[in-house]
């Protein structure tokens, strides 16, 4: 069995300044095997992947690949050398070339045969090769269910679809060892199933998979072995169930993950009170005037409306959750409200019209926006990043007051105010992004997938922070896949599908049937919900027209 | 049927990303033939058009360098000069093929060496390094008198005779044919693994590395291609001028090369041609403005830079989308 393709690392270590990000880690993946890597934010999971893929050079330790019976030492080899040996790495956020079509992005992964550069001369033989490459790319796209998106520029796909395109690229690359960095984060349940079955079938076809993942349900489903990291060291390793049952692991990392703040879709009960703060209910029964009111919002990508006919209203201290499958246009709604995309319709904040104004104007007038991608200025310190956010806002409160508030909500960030933002872990950076919106003194905060990339143990404290924010009188609009978080922090829910609202109502009424309707487009067995929005039969929505004419 | 089955999101404007490779060269050849046979422009117009075609050839490689690989060079006048002087020195004694190839080889070798040395630098420093390369070229042209004849330059260079034509018409025909060849190569490159590798290396070097792309090697390849196309363009410029002179290949020429793809819309396959028309022809036809000529030209270029960051390509795309909307109601 010695000639099985195997990637193994011994004693890997790397330090960034004083931080020992990875400190003596052993890990091994063989073909046909799936190894899960789990750990809290900042445990060193992504750094481990960087060391294995060659993006970061280790200070100590060895990386070896056995391939076709030959062993290659790769300690200092660049990423491209490893890629050619079949070690393919997928990044946490999809990294596609936005201008190239989905198919061309996948073609980039197709291994180039010897002398492929001759194709650049446009010789007659190149056509056959180009056709073969194109077919391979289209097959891979079909496997992830995106065959009909092949010709579309990658930048115009939703983030979930971009992730699937990158998955297709890994498929097309003929990878022997696949390094996956949280492939499920920010994906809808249906897309998760597609990705999970892809990973399972790749493993069964003999690909070795190293799976860094927060979602332990997926790790349990897919992995044969699991490595638990904690502060750069291996806390435990071994068969999945045993390791995850290890009391030390449960105590140190897992904590209360099985408490599952992510309330299941089929769970018809209201979410259990997962945090000390009681589940928020509207403070007084009389309807209060909305602080943010959006009417008939249409948001455009180029000439095509990606979102159409969205109305929403949030009162001060209220929470609105926007849910729906990938590509439903949830993030698009937020970007339209923030003025980051071309939009029509009215946007009023505290009675003032904001539609048609530039984004900085909206931010100065009390709108806060936390994008999904982590956007801290890495060279500046945490405090300087926060000051930037404060400068862009209304400055109704002093910076010191704003910092105090940050300290209340995100103590972990306030404690590292002098550190450069680049030294924060992914989860901490997400907190920084939210804190940066908060110091601007907003009346409404729009949050785009705030828990994507957040360790499960941090989700409950995060929900707690949102609730306190609401108690402070700030209105919150959250786009989120974690329905448990939405139910714990929001008073109303808006369900989107295919760019149009399909459900809206108070959180208590959002039950399994409603979720089925929103996410699976399944006719709910019993429509108990108050207002599944009926599409008007008279005027077909422009989106459908677009489909018919294309 | 697909309209019913197509899921979730409305299809955004489908951009066809592959073109039939022959369409663009065919259009160029047809337009060239039409100019010679039907339009029959006067000697001044024909000279301007020939210069446009020569610069368009040089700009094809530059479009690849700036638009695909995302690297900026301010020193490509050196490669124009290599092509121009090789033509002027070798065309009459050794024949056109040797002259053309010699210029290409000299430019290519310089580009490989300079590329390997300079492309380790980050973007801005690379640009500064190439500026030095261009300056070096000027010094050599002016002072290596035994080869370049110094400031006086080399005259009596001769020109390519094609299709039984003579004079500027023949140079124009040669320029059009060569332009068609380079445009074919440009499109072949863009759809090839090497071209895709250049593009991903421009957008996201770490991701390119993870895909097995050697980013610095693709950049050197783009730099060499820009040198080769500049050498061919330089040879045509020398033919048109009847010789090679230092002033033809000054830094101004390098800046023109840089501006052409940016005005056209970098990476766009028509950018070299459209950009060359604007950058080379427009100043010639603004001569009626006398001393205000360059001021007006400068304002025009600034306006494009301000309002069309995607170059003329952006305008074309907007027009196409607008026409599409009108048609679909």
DSSP-derived secondary structure for A448-511: ESTTTT--HHHHHHHHHHHHHHHHTT-EEEEE-S-HHHHHHH-SEEEEEETTEEEEEEEGGG--
A304: which 2 tokens? Answer: 């095509």
Q: Are both A1-86+175-258 and A294-519 of the same fold? A: yes
Residue A464 confidence (pLDDT)? 80
Contacts B207 to A, Cβ<8 Å: 91, 95
Profile chain A (550 residues) by mean pLDDT over runs of 10 residues.
Answer: 76 82 88 86 82 86 82 79 83 79 86 72 75 87 84 80 86 86 72 84 89 78 87 84 74 40 39 42 60 88 73 90 78 88 87 85 85 70 84 78 81 79 75 82 87 72 81 87 81 83 84 67 43 43 37
Q: Residue B155's CB: how many other CB atoms inside 10 A?
A: 12
pLDDT in tens, B61-86: 988 888 888 888 888 888 988 898 88
CATH code, residues A1-86+175-258: 3.40.50.300
Residue appearing with tokens 């065919």: B26
- Partner residue opposite A120 with nearest CB, options B188, B207, B324: B188
Residues 6+ apart with CB under 8 A from B301: B259, B263
Q: Is B206 at the interface with chain A, CB within 8 A?
A: yes
pLDDT score of A280: 47
Measured on CA atoms in the order A96, A97, A101, A107, is the torsion positive or negative?
negative
Instruction: Please identify among residues 97-116 of chain A the ones whose CB lies closer than 8 Å to any CB of chain B.
Output: 97-101, 103-104, 107-112, 116
By the CB < 8 Å criterion, does B23 face chain A? Answer: no
- Find residues 138-177 of chain A whose CB sits inside 8 Å of chain B: 148, 151-153, 156, 158, 169, 173
Which among A53, A325, A546 has CB closest to B210?
Answer: A53
CB B126 within 8 A of CB B74: no
Alpha-carbon distance A104 to B199, whole Å? 11
Which residues, including other chains, have CB under 8 Å from residue A416's CB and lie 6 or more apart?
A382, A423, A424, A428
Q: Edge-to-edge strand order for the sheet containing A6-16?
A: A19-30, A6-16, A60-67, A70-73
- What percent of chain B has pLDDT above 90? 11
Phi, psi for B188 (deg, rounded to 5): -60, -40
CB atoms within 10 A of CB B303: 10
ipTM field: 0.74
- Residues of chain B contacting residue A122, judged by C-beta atoms under 8 Å apart: 21, 184-185, 187-189, 192
Q: DSSP 3-state assignment of B161? A: coil
* Contact B327/A at CB under 8 A: no
CA distances from A320 to A297, A334, A409, A471, B327 (A): 16, 12, 20, 14, 40
Helix (H, G, I), strand (E, B) or coil at B172: helix
Closest to A119 (Cβ–Cβ): which among B14, B193, B199? B193
**pLDDT tens-digit series, residues B121-166:** 666 788 888 888 888 888 887 778 777 777 777 777 777 777 777 7
The rounded distance, in Å, linking the Cα atoms of B61 and B254 is 13
Residues of chain B with Cβ-Cβ distance to A130 below 8 Å are: 191-192
Report whether A366 contacts A350 (CB < 8 A). yes
Note whether A397 contacts B: Cβ–Cβ < 8 A: no
Testing the interface with B: which of A86, A108, A124, A191 to mutate, by most B Cβ within 10 A?
A108
Quick one: average pLDDT of B235-258? Answer: 82
Assess B198–A contact: CB distance below 8 Å, yes or no. no
pLDDT tens digit sequence for B265-301? 888 888 888 888 888 888 777 777 767 777 777 787 7
3-class SS of residue A367: strand
Q: How confident is the model at residue B60, as a pLDDT?
A: 92
- Inter-chain residue contact B9 with A148, CB threshold 8 Å: no
| Per-residue pLDDT, B232 | 93
d(C-alpha B194, C-alpha B188), whole Å:
10
Residue B217 CB contacts under 8 Å (≥ 6 apart), including other chains: none
A residues 284-313 closer than 8 Å to B (CB): 301-306
d(CA B285, CA B241): 19
CATH assignment of A294-519? 3.40.50.300
Tell which phi-psi region holds residue B212, choosing left (phi > 0), alpha (psi between -120 and 50) or beta. left
CB pairs under 8 A between A and B: 151
Domains of chain A, by residue range, sit at 1-86+175-258, 94-173, 294-519
Distance CA B34, CA A393 (A): 61
d(CA A313, CA A311): 7
Q: What six digits make up the tokens of A500?
A: 């149009």
Q: How far apart are CA A453 and CA B319, in angstroms?
A: 41
Among residues 254-313 of chain B, which lie with CB inside 8 Å of chain A? 267
Q: Which of residues 29-68 of A touch B (CB under 8 A)?
A: 53-55
Assess contact for A345 and A501: CB atoms under 8 A: no
In terms of phi and psi (left: phi > 0; alpha: psi -120 to 50; beta: otherwise), the region of A174 is left
How are strands ordered across the β-sheet holding A208-212?
Answer: A87-90, A177-181, A208-212, A34-38, A225-230, A233-239
Determine if residue A404 is left, alpha or beta; phi over 0 gives left, psi from -120 to 50 gives alpha, anything else beta: alpha
Q: Does residue B17 belong to the interface with chain A, where contact is any CB pair within 8 Å?
A: yes
**A110 CA to chain B: closest CA distance, Å?**
9
Locate tokens 């140190």: which residue? A252
* Better-predicted residue by pLDDT, A121 or B180: B180
- Rounded to an integer, what distance in angstroms lies between the CA atom of residue A288 and that of residue A291? 9
* Start-end of H helices in A173-254: 189-204, 216-222, 240-245, 247-249
Q: Are B180 and A25 in contact (CB under 8 A)?
A: no
In Å, how far is A337's CA from the nearest CA of chain B?
19
Rounded to 5°, the CA angle B236-B240-B244 comes to: 75
Q: Do A79 and B324 count as a contact with CB atoms less than 8 A apart? A: no
The CA R_g of chain B, rounded to the nearest whole Å, is 21
Predicted local distance difference test score (pLDDT) of residue B54: 92
The answer to whether residue B1 neighbours chain A at the CB level (below 8 Å) is no
Q: Which of A77, A117, A544 to mutate to test the interface with B (most CBs of B within 10 A)?
A: A117
Reported confidence tier of residue B36, pLDDT bands at 50, 70, 90: confident
| CB-nearest partner of A117 from B194, B204, B206 | B194
* CB atoms B203 and A302 under 8 Å: no
Residue pair B24/B18 in contact (Cβ under 8 Å)? The answer is no
Of A498, A452, A439, nearest to A479 by C-alpha is: A452
Which residues, listed in sequence order, are joined to residue A445 by a DSSP beta bridge? A368, A476
What are the phi and psi torsion angles at A177 (to 5°)? -130, 125
A128 touching B (Cβ < 8 Å)? no
Least Cα distance to A169 among A252, A83, A241, A227 occurs for: A83
Which chain B residues are Cβ-neighbours of A107 within 8 angstroms?
Answer: 193, 196
């Amino acid at each position: 069995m010695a000639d099985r393709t195997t990637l193994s690392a011994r004693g890997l270590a790397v330090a960034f300044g004083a931080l020992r990000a990875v400190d003596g880690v052993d890990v091994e993946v063989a073909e046909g095997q799936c190894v899960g890597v789990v750990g809290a934010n900042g445990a060193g999971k992504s750094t481990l992947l960087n060391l294995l893929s060659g993006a970061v050079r280790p200070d100590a330790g060895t990386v070896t690949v056995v391939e076709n019976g030959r062993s290659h030492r790769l300690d200092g080899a660049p990423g491209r050398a490893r890629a050619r040996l079949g070690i393919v790495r997928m990044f946490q956020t999809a990294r596609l070339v936005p201008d190239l079509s989905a198919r061309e992005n996948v073609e980039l992964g197709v291994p180039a045969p010897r002398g492929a550069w001759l194709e650049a001369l446009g010789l007659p033989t190149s056509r056959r090769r180009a056709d073969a490459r194109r077919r391979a790319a289209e097959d891979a796209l079909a496997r992830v269910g995106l065959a009909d998106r092949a010709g579309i520029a990658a930048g115009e796909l939703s983030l979930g679809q971009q992730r699937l395109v990158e998955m297709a690229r890994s498929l097309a690359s003929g990878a022997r060892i696949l390094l996956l960095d949280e492939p499920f984060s920010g994906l809808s349940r249906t897309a998760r199933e597609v990705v999970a079955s892809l990973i399972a079938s790749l493993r069964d076809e003999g690909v070795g998979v190293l799976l860094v993942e927060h979602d332990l349900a997926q790790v349990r489903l897919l992995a044969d072995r699991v490595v638990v990291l904690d502060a750069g060291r291996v806390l435990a390793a071994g068969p999945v169930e045993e390791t995850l049952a290890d009391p030390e692991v449960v105590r140190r990392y897992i904590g209360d993950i099985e408490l599952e703040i992510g309330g299941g879709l089929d769970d018809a009960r209201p979410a259990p009170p997962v945090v000390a703060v009681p589940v928020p209910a509207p403070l007084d029964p009389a309807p209060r005037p909305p602080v943010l009111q959006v009417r008939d919002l249409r948001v455009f990508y180029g000439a095509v409306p990606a979102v159409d006919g969205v109305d929403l209203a949030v009162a001060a201290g209220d929470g609105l959750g926007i849910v729906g499958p990938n590509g439903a246009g949830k993030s698009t709604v937020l970007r339209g409200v923030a003025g980051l995309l071309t939009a029509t319709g009215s946007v009023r904040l505290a009675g003032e019209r904001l539609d048609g104004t530039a984004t900085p104007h909206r931010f100065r007038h009390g709108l806060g926006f936390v994008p999904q991608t982590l956007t801290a200025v890495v060279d500046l310190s945490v405090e300087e990043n926060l000051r930037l956010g404060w400068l862009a806002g209304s400055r109704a409160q002093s910076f010191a007051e704003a910092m105090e508030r940050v300290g209340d909500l995100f103590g972990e960030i306030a404690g590292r105010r002098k550190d450069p933002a680049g030294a924060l872990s992914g989860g901490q950076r997400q907190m920084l992004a939210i804190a940066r919106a908060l110091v601007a003194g907003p009346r409404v905060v729009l949050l785009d997938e705030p828990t994507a990339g957040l360790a499960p143990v941090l989700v409950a404290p995060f929900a707690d922070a949102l609730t306190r924010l609401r108690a402070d009188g700030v209105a919150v609009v959250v786009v989120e896949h974690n329905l448990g978080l939405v139910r714990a922090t929001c008073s109303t829910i808006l369900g989107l599908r295919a760019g149009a609202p399909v459900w809206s109502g108070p959180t208590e009424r959002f039950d399994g049937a409603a979720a089925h309707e929103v996410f699976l487009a399944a006719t709910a067995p019993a429509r108990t919900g108050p207002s599944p929005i009926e599409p008007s039969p008279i005027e077909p929505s422009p989106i459908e027209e677009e489909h018919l004419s294309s | 049927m697909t309209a019913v089955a197509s899921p979730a999101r409305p299809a955004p404007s489908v951009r066809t990303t592959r073109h039939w490779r022959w369409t663009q060269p065919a259009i160029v050849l047809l337009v060239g033939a039409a100019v010679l046979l039907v339009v029959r422009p006067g000697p001044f117009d024909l000279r301007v058009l020939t210069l446009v075609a020569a610069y368009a050839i040089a700009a094809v490689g530059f479009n690849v360098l700036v638009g695909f690989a995302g690297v900026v060079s301010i020193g490509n006048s050196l490669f124009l000069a290599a092509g121009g002087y090789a033509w002027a020195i070798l065309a009459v004694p050794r024949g056109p093929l040797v002259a053309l190839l010699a210029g290409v080889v000299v430019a290519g070798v310089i580009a490989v060496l300079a590329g390997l040395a300079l492309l380790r630098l980050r973007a801005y420093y690379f640009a500064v390094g190439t500026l030095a390369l261009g300056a070096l070229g000027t010094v050599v042209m002016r002072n290596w008198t035994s080869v370049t004849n110094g400031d006086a330059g080399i005259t009596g260079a001769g020109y390519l005779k094609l299709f039984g034509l003579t004079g500027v018409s023949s140079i124009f025909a040669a320029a059009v044919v060569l332009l068609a060849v380079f445009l074919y190569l440009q499109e072949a490159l863009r759809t090839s693994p090497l071209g895709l590798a250049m593009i991903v290396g421009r957008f996201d070097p770490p991701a390119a590395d993870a895909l097995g792309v050697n980013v610095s090697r693709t950049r050197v390849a783009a730099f060499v291609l820009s040198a080769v196309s500049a050498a061919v363009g330089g040879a045509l410029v020398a033919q048109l001028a009847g010789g090679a002179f230092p002033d033809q290949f000054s830094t101004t020429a390098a800046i023109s090369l840089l501006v052409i793809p940016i005005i056209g819309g970098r990476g766009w396959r028509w950018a070299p041609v459209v950009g060359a028309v604007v950058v080379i022809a427009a100043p010639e036809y603004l001569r009626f403005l006398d001393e205000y000529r360059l001021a007006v030209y400068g304002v025009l270029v600034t306006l494009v830079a301000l309002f069309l960051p995607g170059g003329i390509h952006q305008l074309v795309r907007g027009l196409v989308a607008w026409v599409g909307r009108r048609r679909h109601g």
